[in-house]
């Protein structure tokens, strides 16, 4: 009976594995959860996490160190949700594609180990968040292995893809595996665009235990908005590149890119776009996005470069690197405490995180209802005994 009271009246507790700088925590706590324990092994990320949530990380215990050195007896009891944003280095299209058992991405198996070692006290729901490359890694075998690992712990698994572009002007699709001890009945779920055709193979595999939870229609993908989040700064700000560097930027553009930029330069209104530096036939070139949306923020690890901001209009063009504040805004964390954070530290950390509003939407519309299902289940058992 005590468990029913705690679940019904309090904010369900969360174990936050691979916490990074705590963007999953921001989204989960916004949707009604409370992080009770967190872990990461990168000192710079821990520093940012603590600058945001306090030296003691608020109400949460923060374990600094490799997840491989964590044991189940170090975890607080009574958590309702486990969240794991495990490393994607070996799963990303920009990475090695070594798979779920290679390099840093193999840390997933320590997440599974800890859930297993928690025994009957393991959380009601466990989430794995990762790049969509997990779905195709090793021909889908890695995704099946992840689902099977949760199955072996008594969970049924739902698989979704959710793009941060539904909430912020950044193209950032991510994969979410939602593992539930007491899943909802799939026959109550209408088809959802969050389970596209390329994910259906996991549901048709008879060796896997899966479910499809009912979901509301998600927000539509944004078509614009980057210009609205650009950090205000005068044209004289030293962060804008000098004239010779801006000329080199324009000179590197392909004919198609150059024509696009020339048209936007002629605009009477200021136009902002993002740009990536690519290597084409061994030559570094710049490519400017045609729309008012940012490309996916990434870390330098994995072969991706930083994004630049291009300001055009009135026959002028200015170029600079994207700022930490713009990274934060594109991740839905515009009020994140950046006062003592180095620029490269911030860019790396935000590029390696999950977007806050995507987590918040998932928490409100999927995870919290799953947790509340347990309250209803326990209530039914209590009435049956009574």
pLDDT tens, residue by residue, 220-250: 999 999 999 999 999 999 999 999 999 999 9
What 3-state DSSP class applies to 66? coil
Q: Are residues 216 and 240 in the same domain?
A: no
50 versus 105: which is more confidently predicted?
50
Does residue 87 lie within any of the structural domains?
Answer: yes
Q: Which domain holds residue 155?
A: 2-221+350-385
Q: Are residues 146 and 262 in the same domain?
A: no
Residue 95 has pLDDT above 60, yes or no: no
Report pLDDT for 279: 81
Highest mean pLDDT out of 97-101, 270-274, 297-301: 270-274
Report pLDDT for 375: 58
Residue 182 has pLDDT above 90, yes or no: yes
Does residue 134 lie within any of the structural domains?
Answer: yes
Residue position matching structure tokens 């507790």: 13
Does residue 289 lie within any of the structural domains?
Answer: yes
C-alpha distances out from residue 233 to 29, 272, 274, 320, 335, Å: 32, 13, 16, 11, 18
Strands 125-131 and 173-180, sheet pairing: antiparallel
Residue 300 — pLDDT band, cuts 50, 70, 90? low
Does residue 226 lie within any of the structural domains?
Answer: no
Q: Are residues 89 and 153 in the same domain?
A: yes
Q: Are residues 254 and 290 in the same domain?
A: yes
How large is the C-alpha radius of gyration of the chain? 22
Q: Are residues 85 and 142 in the same domain?
A: yes
Does residue 173 lie within any of the structural domains?
Answer: yes
Q: Are residues 92 and 139 in the same domain?
A: yes
Residue 103 has pLDDT above 60, yes or no: no
Q: What is the mean pLDDT of residues 286-296?
A: 95
pLDDT digits (tens, 9 = 90+) for 142-179: 899 999 999 999 999 999 999 999 999 999 999 999 99
Q: Are residues 91 and 166 in the same domain?
A: yes
Indicate the residue among 322, 342, 359 that finishes a domain. 322
Q: Are residues 267 and 217 in the same domain?
A: no
Residue position matching structure tokens 């950090």: 231
Residue 267 has pLDDT above 90, yes or no: yes
pLDDT digits (tens, 9 = 90+) for 43-55: 999 999 999 998 6
Domain with residue 45: its CATH number is 3.40.50.150
Q: Are residues 261 and 318 in the same domain?
A: yes
Which pTM value belongs to this model?
Answer: 0.90
Tell me the helices (H) and strands (E) count for the chain, helix number first: 13, 11
Residue 337 has pLDDT above 60, yes or no: yes
Indicate the residue among 302, 322, 342 that finishes a domain. 322
- Please report which helix (H) or strand (E) contains residue 256, including its range: helix 255-265
Buried b (16+ CB within 10 A) or exposed e, 331-359: bbbeebebeebeeebbbbbbbbbbbbbbb
Does residue 227 lie within any of the structural domains?
Answer: no
194 versus 304: which is more confidently predicted?
194
Residue 374 has pLDDT above 90, yes or no: no
Does residue 337 lie within any of the structural domains?
Answer: no
Report pLDDT for 54: 84
Domain count, the chain: 2
Q: Are residues 100 and 130 in the same domain?
A: yes
- Please report which helix (H) or strand (E) contains residue 311, including its range: strand 308-313
Q: Are residues 288 and 259 in the same domain?
A: yes
Q: Are residues 11 and 144 in the same domain?
A: yes
Does residue 60 lie within any of the structural domains?
Answer: yes
């Amino acid at each position: 009976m005590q468990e029913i009271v705690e679940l019904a009246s309090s904010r369900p507790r969360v174990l936050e594995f691979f916490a990074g700088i705590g963007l999953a925590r921001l989204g989960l706590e916004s949707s009604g959860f409370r992080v009770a324990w967190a872990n990461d092994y990168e000192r710079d990320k821990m520093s940012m996490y603590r600058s945001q949530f306090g030296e003691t990380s608020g109400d949460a215990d923060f374990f600094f160190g490799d997840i491989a050195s964590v044991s189940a007896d170090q975890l607080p009891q009574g958590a309702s949700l486990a969240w794991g944003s495990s490393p994607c280095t070996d799963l990303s299209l920009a990475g090695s594609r070594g798979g779920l058992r290679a390099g840093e991405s193999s840390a997933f198996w320590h997440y599974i180990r800890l859930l297993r070692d928690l025994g009957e006290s393991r959380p009601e729901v466990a989430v794995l968040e990762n790049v969509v490359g997990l779905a195709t890694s090793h021909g889908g075998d890695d995704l099946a292995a992840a689902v099977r690992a949760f199955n072996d712990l008594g969970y049924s698994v739902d698989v979704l893809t959710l793009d941060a572009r539904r909430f912020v002007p950044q193209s950032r699709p991510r994969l979410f595996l939602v593992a539930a001890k007491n899943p909802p009945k799939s026959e109550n779920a209408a088809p959802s665009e969050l389970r596209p055709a390329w994910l259906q193979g996991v549901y048709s595999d008879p060796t896997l235990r899966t479910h499809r939870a009912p979901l509301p229609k998600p927000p539509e993908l944004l078509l614009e908005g980057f210009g609205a989040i650009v950090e205000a700064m005068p044209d004289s700000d030293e962060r804008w590149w000098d004239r010779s560097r801006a000329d080199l930027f324009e000179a590197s553009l392909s004919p198609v890119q150059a024509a696009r930029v020339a048209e936007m330069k002629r605009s009477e209104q200021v136009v902002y776009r993002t740009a990536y530096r690519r290597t084409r036939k061994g030559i570094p070139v710049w490519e400017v996005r045609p729309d008012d949306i940012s490309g996916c923020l990434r870390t330098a690890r994995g072969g991706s470069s930083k994004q630049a901001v291009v300001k055009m209009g009135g026959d002028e063009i200015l170029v600079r690197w994207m700022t930490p504040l713009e990274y934060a805004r594109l991740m839905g964390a515009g009020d994140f405490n950046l006062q003592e954070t180095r620029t490269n530290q911030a860019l790396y950390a935000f590029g390696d995180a999950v977007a806050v509003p995507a987590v918040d939407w998932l928490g409100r519309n999927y995870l919290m209802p799953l947790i509340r299902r347990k309250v209803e289940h326990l209530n039914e058992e209590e009435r049956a005994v009574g």
